[in-house]
Chains A and B, each alone.
Chain A
């Protein structure tokens, strides 16, 4: 098992996940579940916390590896955020014109950093196995083994949904600047930058 160091060029969005088998067909999403580590045959596993950026990360990373065809959600859903149920809603219904996940029960279920093509790809590439509420290690392991033995074909080429943006976004001449909207004088007085 390896930590997330750009394995095989997959998984473009860094985060709290562990990479196992590059040709594994399963991604495991851990909701609230203690002391459970999926077996090495899975492609990738990690926790899901938020119903917006957390879901986006999972989609971007899962569709970057075409071998992944199943996504297993296990553990208790997170109260309020309902991130697991919101991910299922996204897979089922997609997003509306305001980029809100349709029928998502979470508090802030917006998908802002992925194109609709990436969401479609996720819907087509992945079958979701809903084990929300299941925390028993043996039960989850049995499901993983069962789906692992199916050996589904690869979905084709990797889909890179997100590229990490360059960090420099503004060109400001004065060296003490914190932000393009404000100016800080040499003793620390802040004022609004002219024209902003």
Chain B
């Protein structure tokens, strides 16, 4: 359990606080809604309700992450967001294809949703069109993924943030600032097993001390890609998937992209428990007081 010397930024993302010293704010939990086939909005609505209910109980803020695979889903998903999510609730939009990203930004602007949007994500594959679109339609908050295909170590992750590791003309932090992103969240880019996957966790305190920005990652991706673990059965893999998330707050991280929203009922209590453990130490030793909504205040 750690405390940082450098001042830690605390961002207000449409009402949700993220960042700070370990033990200060509850870990923010970001849940994926993947819509692998056609979007099933009834199921999504039910899952969101479950998530917001359990979030109220533990105090860990919940943010849904909408993974958009096809352009034709944009309008339907944004309509769903406007009708279903609580007023001002932030959400994250996760799109791989740059062309769909730019179209989505325009739509978010038209629907006046940019202040609630977490743009997921800026990375070394950013195109000029994407930069132009981001400048024109700027979300308040963006996740920068510190993925460096040559060097998966914490140093390699810092290299792409600082100078783009020759793949972009400048560092990803400068790019994000230039397009006007005010609140930057760093994702330490969890890689597949065998690809220095542990570096995504080790990089958390290094990057927090270096920049003072909120840091997290999707460490569950490592579990998802594990071949040997699949041989131990679905139940074992699911438990490891959920348990893997405790590494993030333990190493000082501020948010977790925990994968399928269906895991909500297990992930929230697990992380609330971990937040309590951390808070007990950091308050006693470093004097970090947990906020009123922290799991330690709500549950004990």
Binding site for B on A (CB under 8 A): 14-16, 49, 52-53, 56, 79-81, 98-100, 106-113, 169, 178-179, 181-182, 184, 187-192
A-B interface pairs (CB < 8 A), number:
96
Chain B residues within 8 Å of A188, by CB:
1-3, 281, 285-286
Chain B residues within 8 Å of A179, by CB:
154, 202-203, 205-206
Complex alpha-carbon distance, A98 and B166, angstroms: 7
Complex alpha-carbon distance, A112 and B149, angstroms: 6
Query: Does B75 touch A at the CB level, under 8 Å?
Result: no
Q: Assess whether A79 is in contact with B5, with CB atoms less than 8 Å apart.
A: no
Chain B residues within 8 Å of A110, by CB:
124, 149-150, 167
B83 shortest CB reach to chain A, Å: 26
B282 shortest CB reach to chain A, Å: 8
Which of chain A's residues has its CB closest to B227's CB? A16
Q: Assess whether B205 is in contact with A178, with CB atoms less than 8 Å apart.
A: yes
For this complex, 9 residue pairs linking A to B, each with C-beta atoms less than 8 Å apart, are A52-B149, A53-B191, A98-B166, A100-B167, A109-B125, A111-B149, A112-B167, A181-B155, A189-B3
Contacts A81-B96, A184-B2, A189-B3 supplied; 10 other A-B pairs, CB < 8 Å: A15-B194, A79-B69, A79-B97, A108-B124, A112-B150, A178-B206, A181-B206, A182-B205, A187-B285, A192-B210
Complex alpha-carbon distance, A191 and B208, angstroms: 10
Chain B residues within 8 Å of A15, by CB:
192, 194
Q: Which of A14, A80, A81, A169 has the most chain B CB within a 10 Å cutoff?
A: A80
Q: Assess whether B98 is in contact with A14, with CB atoms less than 8 Å apart.
A: no
Q: Assess whether A107 is in contact with B149, with CB atoms less than 8 Å apart.
A: no
Complex alpha-carbon distance, A106 and B124, angstroms: 12
Query: Does B11 touch A at the CB level, under 8 Å?
Result: no
Complex alpha-carbon distance, A116 and B272, angstroms: 49
Q: Assess whether A189 is in contact with B206, with CB atoms less than 8 Å apart.
A: no
The 8 Å CB contact of B286, one of A98, A107, A189, A191, is A189
Query: Does B9 touch A at the CB level, under 8 Å?
Result: no
Complex alpha-carbon distance, A171 and B202, angstroms: 17
Chain A residues within 8 Å of B136, by CB:
none
Chain B residues within 8 Å of A169, by CB:
153
Q: Assess whether A108 is in contact with B149, with CB atoms less than 8 Å apart.
A: yes
Query: Does B25 touch A at the CB level, under 8 Å?
Result: no
Chain B residues within 8 Å of A178, by CB:
202, 205-206
Q: Assess whether A190 is in contact with B96, with CB atoms less than 8 Å apart.
A: no
